[in-house]
Structure 1
Amino acid sequence: MSNPFGTVPPEAILEGKATDAYFERTRATLEYADKNPHVVAEVTADQFPTGEFEVFTGVKDVATLLEGRRLDVDALPDGQLFDGGPVLRIEGRYLEFAEFETSLLGFCSQPSGFATAALEARLAAPDSLVLSFGARHVHPVIATTVERAALLAGLDGFSHVAAGEILGREAGGTMPHALMFCFGEGNQAEAWEAFDEAVSDDVPRIALVDTFWDEKSESLLAAETLGDDLDGVRIDTTSSRRGDFEHIIREVRWELDARGYEDVDIFCSGGLEPDTIRPLREIADGFGVGSYITGADSVDFSLDIVEISEGSDGPSSSRTQSGDEGEPVSKRGKLGGVKEVYRTPDGGHQITLADREGPTDGESLFEPLIRDGEIVREFDLDEATDRCLEDAETVGFGQ
């Protein structure tokens, strides 16, 4: 059975069919008129800095999308934070990339939103274990996108098995409420013992302790049942009856400690977000964050031509190689002209025209991505994570 879930196949994306219809009509019109100008286009969210930084990612997919086309592309590094101005720049004949705009923006917009929200969750509890539990809230075909964005932002792991196989990471997680229901009320100890005997030794023994009884009662029962084998308890109390969640966690911690179970960790999940995590980070040991990440707004990127000319086609057509600069153009409300973006030591994000001097102490953030259709950058997720967390500290993200 071909494509049983009706999703857009990779071939359609690479062929430019995953596009808005008006790009097909644009191609037909330009070819009819024998027009295909040399342009520079930029991908931008806000034109000027707003003081609100966001994480840029998706650049690896953009490189795959545009590979083999007669284009030069520059972009911010994967995981870089930005505040206004362009994050990606394309140069070449317009019809080399016209139909790819829709997919290109999708590759950047949603993952950048996921990563920005994940970074907020990460920094809400910087010394705690934080996992991504949100794959159930998105279509399965983008689960890997969610989990990669979470890892890029510094989260410690995720729950989706297939995404783990693609990313080369082991998925995490222990038991759902369904397991407890299958054993029934009053048989919680039997459920935890069966889990302990059934799963491999490398899986943490985290008992779910809020299914039938009070969280404190089930936590103590789990500790008595598994003894030294118990690594922790997970409290997933729904918001409809949560009450003072911080008080519940403090009470569970107190009762475990009072009975000598100081080494049993407390893991929290269920509708958590940064504001609910911060009060708990001193008493809980870990958090599972789901809908806060998957429900994040996409970054509202757009792609706009900012310079246009009738420069020669081919590998030597780059404005930086030929010295043949075009005319700045822009739609109303946008900024014409090719731009550069800089990071200053104090965390500033500055935007200038490319032919003007940048800040004397600034570092240009654009790096080559594609040269004449060839990808010239390597992608390493661990390096992107380090970059994201270091840049977040530099710019004061979340402070």
Structure 2
Amino acid sequence: MDSRSQVVANITAVSQFHPEDRGIRSATPEEIRAGLTADVYFVGTQQILQHLHKQEQVVAAEVFANHAGILAGVEETLALLAPLPVTVEALEEGRAVAEKEVVMRITGRYGDFGLFETAILGILASSSGWATAAREVVEAAHPVPVFSFGARHVHPAVASVMDRAALVGGAQGASSILGARQAGETPSGTMPHALLLMVGDTVEAARAYDQVMPPEAPRVVLVDTFKDEAEEAIRVAEALDGRLGAIRLDTPRERGGVTPGLVREVRARLKQAGYPDVGVFVSGGLTPERIIALKEAGVTGFGVGSYIAAASPLDMTMDLKMVEGRPVAKRGRIPGLTDNPHLTVKLANAPEMRG
């Protein structure tokens, strides 16, 4: 079963649905479009509305943000809704939104899109949460570039979604292949400690990296695996003879982590050795506060993972505000459409609202 009518036509069909055991638990795009990620009560709602002959009613639903942040996920939401006979108005991705601001309005027959409320809110909330966190670190680092290194902190099914949201939030690059390529970018990365441990020497690994990687790939080498970071940085700079773009510091917490003092020392010793243009790229447990201090010490690039990946979703709510041309709202909210002239992104497939 892979169509909405077959899988989630009613509660009985849901209880009789048995997904194949494929090991990996993430939903496919087809399963999302089939409504299988919906909260089950939306299936019951559709069934009841059909019983009452009300599923054809034309409604307007508004999605608003419960907290201020950066909006992302609009493109993916529009892709989900594109096959449906609905009209959508939305804010542009990357826009700062205020608390309670309407970010999207959907008009159409409730029976055509109501089942997808769960997916719509999930897409917008998760993507906006990641974009908001990315914007926080980007603003702290400005003008030093930030790259999203968060793929290892989330389920692989959503790593590319997170990386795209980070790019919407202002990150200059992303490490996951799918996330970067979907955004038309080249994936960004350096080398893992595993490579250095397998090779057994930083300089030997750096030379091999220089020989194997394409000419356009930046030469950024980890220098915290075996010896003092400043000593290793100079050894690598000498070995690559002008081709070293930057060294990367990812010193573990067990050794005190990357500190502003360490960055200043490495930069000073590189300069004294005749390599003032070698940059210092830092990753590992970065927060806006740490980034500000490290930027002042001379860092030239940041790889941020957990701060972006672990961001809380930017909570979203969907409310019906019009039913067959009649203003409606739950108690505590104002009936009728909410004015927002910034809803400039359009998808127009629906019949006109009656009334």
The alignment's TM-score, normalised by the length of structure 2, stands at: 0.87
Decide which moves more: 102-111 or 216-225.
216-225
User: AA paired with 2:176?
Assistant: H
Whole-angstrom distance in 2 between the partners of 1:171 and 1:162 = 8
How far off its partner does 1:305 sit? Answer: 1.1
Partner residue in 1 for 2:7: none
Partner residue in 1 for 2:28: 9
3-state SS of the aligned residue for 1:8? coil
CA spacing shift, 1:69–1:373, aligned 2, 3 Å: farther
Whole-angstrom distance in 2 between the partners of 1:16 and 1:335 = 30
How far off its partner does 1:26 sit? Answer: 0.8
Contact persistence 1:63–1:369 (CA under 8 A): no
Whole-angstrom distance in 1 between the partners of 2:255 and 2:115 = 50
Q: What count of residue pairs does the alignment treat as equivalent?
A: 329
Mind listing any 5+ residue stretches in structure 2 that lack a counterpart?
Answer: 1-19
Partner residue in 2 for 1:92: 108
How far off its partner does 1:21 sit? Answer: 0.6
1:43 aligns with 2:63: yes
1:268 aligns with 2:267: no
Partner residue in 2 for 1:78: 93
Mind listing any 5+ residue stretches in structure 1 that lack a counterpart?
Answer: 47-51, 310-324, 342-363, 375-399
Partner residue in 2 for 1:340: 339
Whole-angstrom distance in 2 between the partners of 1:373 and 1:34 = 19
Whole-angstrom distance in 2 between the partners of 1:336 and 1:242 = 56
Whole-angstrom distance in 2 between the partners of 1:257 and 1:168 = 36
1:280 aligns with 2:280: no
3-state SS of the aligned residue for 1:114? helix
How far off its partner does 1:102 sit? Answer: 0.7
Whole-angstrom distance in 1 between the partners of 2:199 and 2:36 = 50
Contact persistence 1:146–1:294 (CA under 8 A): yes
Which of 198, 204, 207 is the aligned partner of 1:182? 198
Give % identity: 38
3-state SS of the aligned residue for 1:117? helix
Decide which moves more: 189-198 or 261-270.
189-198
How far off its partner does 1:242 sit? Answer: 2.0
How far off its partner does 1:125 sit? Answer: 1.4
CA displacement 1:336-365 (0-9 Å, x = unmatched): 321023xxxxxxxxxxxxxxxxxxxxxx21
Whole-angstrom distance in 2 between the partners of 1:20 and 1:303 = 14
CA spacing shift, 1:335–1:237, aligned 2, 3 Å: farther
3-state SS of the aligned residue for 1:228? coil
Contact persistence 1:144–1:163 (CA under 8 A): yes
User: AA paired with 2:309?
Assistant: T
Which of 206, 213, 218 is the aligned partner of 2:232? 218
Whole-angstrom distance in 1 between the partners of 2:77 and 2:189 = 32
How far off its partner does 1:2 sit? Answer: 8.7
3-state SS of the aligned residue for 1:115? helix
3-state SS of the aligned residue for 1:193? helix
CA displacement 1:216-272 (0-9 Å, x = unmatched): 121122122222121110000123332670111011111111121101111110111
1:202 aligns with 2:216: yes
The alignment's TM-score, normalised by the length of structure 1, stands at: 0.78
Partner residue in 1 for 2:146: 130
Partner residue in 2 for 1:387: none
Whole-angstrom distance in 2 between the partners of 1:130 and 1:104 = 28
Which of 40, 43, 47 is the aligned partner of 1:24? 43
Whole-angstrom distance in 2 between the partners of 1:301 and 1:256 = 49
RMSD: 2.0
